[in-house]
Amino acid sequence: MNVTQYDYDLFVIGAGSGGVRASRMASQYGARVAVAEDIYLGGTCVNVGCVPKKLFVYGSHVSEELEGAAGYGWNLGAASFDWPTLRDNKTREVQRLNGVYRNILSSAGVELIEGRAHIDGPNSVTVAGKTYSAERILVATGGWPVIPEIPGKEHIISSNEAFYLERFPESVLVLGGGYIAVEFAGIFNGLGASTELVYRGPQILRGFDDEVREVTAREVAQKGVRITLNTNIEAVAKNPDGRFTVTLTSGEQRVVDCVMAATGRAPKIAGLGLENTAVTLTDKGTIAVNEDYQTTEPSIYALGDVIGGMELTPVALAEGMALAKNLYGKSAGLQTPVRVDYANIPTAVFCQPNIGTVGLTEAQALEKGYRLRVYCSDFKPMKHSLTGLGERTFMKLLVDDASDKVIGCHMVGPDAGEILQGIAVAMKAGATKADFDGTIGIHPTAAEEFVTMREPTRRVPAA
């Protein structure tokens, strides 16, 4: 079959961040592109991920602002929180963004096909009973929350449902120790719920720098979240009054209004029809691809969360851009293959206080054989000198002693994500500790601490 005999040059399954970016750019390079979406435009990030989550974080942090206002002379009187207002305002903003994504696709000349796509073969996709042919197919279906297989799992919600609760719970038990669990524990706590975080491991936020984990656990706990470690849920039972009895592996029980699990996400590929192709999966159940995002079926590609890399919206966007440029960019004069650089990708956790991180953790650096100079600072932010609140900020720089390059930067504190974005640029450019030391700070800010840490806290391995 000649290329011109296909209905489309590229058929994208999934209108999330990666799928929309790939389809829009491919279309602008001259490809005939269609996108199939069966749930919502914008994917996880816009609908049940980063956007609504951060709106909830903003809302939940207001209680702390009110608590600290008296130190600045504000007598605010009694305050109350109305859950339906926050929930519905968030939903309206999500719906607005759905329309923005629809316009993006339309303006780029991409055909939007609404419905669940099923792959019939290497070049064939069926949506709502109609079959389409395509020279290439891109799977960008993202991930989906996984609820653990425990008795009573039907009573447990995921982060998806948390955004649309009919009533705000007075008490919540959050299962998990990753960033989603920690963020939602902070949200529920800040909005007024009695909140407990239960995690099977010895410390929350596995994979982050160990000191960051310890500081975050301390700060989250001092803000009111009860953290129970080395514990799991054994069963959940619904009581006659509508509440839930949670039995823990310790034998203890909790009675709460809501049980939420944030214990992981899996690729959303069930029922997609991959068995009709030569596409293979990794041991982790993600779609196996090469450096060009091509699967073991040459005509089928995959990117974003479904391939199991760094599950971040900007990463999916970068992958979508790279794919479109490599497949269709020659028409625009692009010759050199584009590769996404996965080194020094910054990320943030919007717990309270925030975490910002870029580069290696201390454990990763030592595993790679670096001799390190470690610089740490732990202090009370200037703002809280009047509020009386106990929140502290923690900063950490990891420096390769041989080259003086900054190879890791970590922060726990207000606006950590905003601050670390600029440092990520510096590290991408190869900044040394001397470059940091030679930079004049902005005073008075917390961020200036990153350019005023002169003496190393310790050297590892010790000289």
Give residue-wise pLDDT tens across range 140-179.
999 999 999 999 999 999 999 999 999 999 999 999 999 9
Q: Is 443 a known active-site residue?
A: yes
- What is the distance of C-alpha 56 from the center of its chain? 15
Mean pLDDT of 278-295: 98
CA distance readout (Å), 180 to 7, 13, 64, 210, 361: 40, 26, 21, 18, 20
pLDDT band at 19; cut points 50, 70, 90: very high
- Which CATH code, of 3.40.50.1110, 3.50.50.60, 3.40.50.300, 3.40.50.2000, is assigned to 3-144+267-332? 3.50.50.60
pLDDT of residue 335: 81
**Mean pLDDT (the chain, rounded):** 96
pLDDT band at 336; cut points 50, 70, 90: confident
Planar angle of CA 170, 161, 309, nearest 5 degrees? 120
pLDDT of residue 3: 53
Query: Same CATH topology for 3-144+267-332 and 347-457?
Result: no
d(CA 225, CA 309): 30
110-128 pLDDT, tens digit each? 999 999 999 999 999 999 9
* Topology, domain 347-457: Enolase-like; domain 1 (3.30.390)
Its pTM stands at 0.96
Residue 203 has pLDDT above 60, yes or no: yes
Residue 365 has pLDDT above 90, yes or no: yes
247 token code pair: 């039995």
CA distance readout (Å), 28 to 336, 349, 380, 402: 18, 34, 50, 46
pLDDT of residue 331: 80
pLDDT of residue 463: 52
Residue 240 has pLDDT above 60, yes or no: yes
Mean pLDDT of 83-87: 98
Residue 21 has pLDDT above 90, yes or no: yes
Mean pLDDT of 411-420: 97
- Which CATH code, of 3.40.50.720, 3.10.150.10, 3.50.50.60, 1.10.287.110, is assigned to 153-263? 3.50.50.60
**What residues contact 178, with CB distance under 8 A and at least 6 apart?**
204, 205, 206, 262, 263, 264
pLDDT of residue 179: 97
Mean pLDDT of 232-261: 98
pLDDT of residue 333: 82
CB 401 within 8 A of CB 459: yes
- What 3-state DSSP class applies to 425? helix
Task: Centre a 10 Å sphere on the Cβ of residue 86 and count the other Cβ atoms it contains.
Answer: 18
pLDDT of residue 14: 98
CB 356 within 8 A of CB 36: no
% the chain with pLDDT above 90: 96
pLDDT of residue 462: 63
- The dihedral sign for the CA sequence 95, 101, 102, 104: positive
Domain range list for the chain: 3-144+267-332, 153-263, 347-457
- What is the distance of C-alpha 301 from the center of its chain? 23
State the virtual CA torsion across 279, 280, 284, 285 in degrees, nearest 10.
Answer: 50
Residue that wins the pLDDT comparison between 67 and 333: 67
Q: Which residues of 393-412 are buried (b: 16+ CB within 10 A; e: fewer)?
A: bbbbbbbbbeeebbbbbbbb
